[in-house]
Chain A
Amino acid sequence: MGNSRKKYCVVGYYFSPEDILGAAEKAKNRNFKNFDTFTPFPVHGIEKAMGLKRSTLPYISFGAGVAGLSAAIGLQVWTHLFSWPINIGGKPLLAIPAYVPIFFELTVLFAGVTTAVAMFTVYLGLPNFSKPIFHPDITNDRFALAIEVDSEDQVEPVKKFLREIQAQEIHHVEGAL
């Protein structure tokens, strides 16, 4: 990473969810290559304002659920029919109704754990302790709009844009978003 490719983030702060919604919309319309908003809680409508696509996470959850169900079928059928076929109280070896509770439980177990783990690791890239935290109050009562730029001379025009869209405080930091 050469010095010439150094990236900067220009950050503007707002103090209400309505203001950040408006700012996000304007930032989207300016077609910045990479920008994001940072909020203390999920602000409704911000995905639309920022032009974000709906998460593909449900497909992962569904796949994991199918894997869980297959594991449950495999485990029970293999155990009772092949590994250890034993007659207990005359119950049939392939007793599908008796297998149903564990079908359900393993489906939920696989889907639930995978959803949470995939969301944090694959989708959010966590754990990651090296990304910049622009302001400690972002997890308290501040709403930030951060715009990434490729070189130092682009910082001032973006700051001007943030002033135009009424950011209450503006600063910039070195590093990618």
Chain B
Amino acid sequence: MKSLLHDAPLVEGNKSYADINNDVCRPLESFPTKLWYVAFLTSLTVMTFGFGMIGYLLFKGTGLSGIRSPVGWGMMIITFVFWIGIGHAGTLISAILFLFKQKWRTAINRSAEAMTIFAVMCAGIFPLIHTGRPWYSAYWLFPLPNTMGPLWVNFRSPLLWDVFAVSTYFTISAVFWYTGLVPDFASVRDRAKNWIRKKVYGLLALGWRGSSRGWSHYEIAYMILAGLSTPLVLSVHTIVSFDFAVSIVPGWHTTIFPPYFVAGAIFSGFAMVVTLLVIAREVFQLKEYITLNHLEAMNKIILATGMLVGLAYGTEFFIAWYSGVEYERFIFIQRAMGPYAWSYWIMIGCNVISPQFFWFKSLRRNIPLMFVLSLFVNVGMWFERFVIVVTSLATDFLPSSWNYFRLTWWDYSTILGSFGMFFTLFLLFCRFVPTIAMAEVKSVMPTKGSDHHG
């Protein structure tokens, strides 16, 4: 497979191996900037506020949220699917692009994987709140032995498949991330001047020495993890889509859901990677590593997956008409022209129309534009899940129970809180973990011979 970046240098500025360590470790070893503090304290405040709201919501009952019969899933499932989707780009970059030998991934895989892990953590909050009594959720969600007679979870339910898919995804992503980090933790340990840093990173590095006998096992393990993560990432959003597709609700009961959800997940995930990296390369002075070429390659993927998502929207409509099922036809006409038409057209505008700018090379390389478009895509993908969850449930089989779904103040503050948590974790990551996989970047650099001595 041809690389998306065939003739451009992967690292700009004629760097040596030592420059990479100096540049990547700088944010870890210097006092954080004022900008970092402002961003961190803001995110932390938003997160604390959000968790306070969740606490009160659980104390009073989930009725504070907008969930009402017949829209029982409401904001929580919408936002759960949204965050799980965001995570997908990280695994795609770290695993699938690795197997396709796309060397440009080395500059962005570390931060994209971090984003995956944090996004899955944010996602995990929402089904727990949705249960209303998260302290019971251990044996509601997992097959835990308990004293209530033989009482087990139902393995035939897609909601349980989801529990297994998401928890496996989180575990494997974390293991993969840590495996990649060990050699870089050793780099930080070996250059540390302060003994606390030496001890902490020394423990994290497990005593890694860079032995070639070690590397040979390490590379095999990395390849196996990439090989396992590739079907895993495709399975996760497939199984999330089963939550909908296995039911018999019109608008959900379709076989297109698994590929459609996976494409949407990659689409939104890449948009979030662009959002984060445009900021991070500026703030942490990593422009020579995360180059305009990297951003352009990601914008190409956003364009391609955006078109796939658009194709899925069109196919759904066509099949609704072609199937001849009147409930199916009704729900799709409701989506585009009913009471929630505003959300449908926000979705189309953000997901199908906005990426079209990326047909032009100059626009793919325009940083302010790609930043704005990546935000549009994220908004659009949240609304995609809104459209799916709300329109199908609000106008269900029984017209007497139809209802107009409204988000409440509690819904907004919970969503905001999850963004606060996401950015808090990401800022901590940028401060304490090497944001670029140093060892991997060195291995794709052209070698310069022995002209410089340490």
User: Which residues of A approach B to under 8 Å, CB–CB?
Assistant: 13-19, 24, 36-44, 46-47, 50, 52, 54-55, 57-58, 61, 75-76, 79-80, 83-84, 88, 91, 95, 98-99, 101-102, 104-106, 108-109, 111-113, 115-116, 119-120, 123-124, 126-131, 133, 136-142, 168
List B contacts of A111 (CB < 8 A). 224, 228
Given the known inter-chain contacts A101-B239, A115-B224, please indicate yes or no for A18 contacting B207, CB distance below 8 A: no
Q: How far is the CB of A136 from chain B (nearest CB, A)?
A: 4
List A contacts of B442 (CB < 8 A). 40-41
List B contacts of A139 (CB < 8 A). 21, 183, 186-187, 189-191, 208, 210
**Size bracket of the B interface:** 35 or more
Q: How far is the CB of A160 from chain B (nearest CB, A)?
A: 21
* Inter-subunit contact B175/A116 (CB<8 Å): yes
* Inter-subunit contact A136/B191 (CB<8 Å): yes
| Cross-chain pairs A/B with CB under 8 angstroms, 16 sampled | A15-B453, A42-B215, A52-B212, A57-B221, A75-B143, A79-B152, A80-B155, A115-B228, A116-B179, A116-B225, A123-B217, A136-B190, A139-B183, A139-B208, A139-B210, A141-B18
Q: In the complex, what residue of chain A is closest to B218 when comparing beta carbons?
A: A119
Bound state CA distance, A13 and B187, in angstroms? 17
B283 at the interface (CB under 8 A from A): no
B8-25: CB near A (< 8 Å → 1, else 0) gives: 000000001110010000
Given the known inter-chain contacts A101-B165, A140-B18, please indicate yes or no for A79 contacting B447, CB distance below 8 A: no
List B contacts of A76 (CB < 8 A). 155
* Inter-subunit contact A52/B171 (CB<8 Å): no
- 15 A-B pairs besides A102-B160, A104-B231 with CB distance below 8 A are A16-B449, A24-B212, A36-B212, A39-B212, A41-B440, A41-B443, A42-B215, A42-B216, A42-B218, A91-B156, A102-B161, A105-B161, A120-B179, A140-B21, A168-B453
* Inter-subunit contact B210/A112 (CB<8 Å): no
User: Which residues of B approach A to under 8 Å, CB–CB?
Assistant: 16-18, 21, 143, 150-152, 154-158, 160-161, 164-165, 168, 171-172, 175-176, 178-179, 182-183, 186-187, 189-191, 202-203, 206-221, 224-225, 228-229, 231-232, 235, 239, 242, 438-440, 442-443, 447-450, 452-454
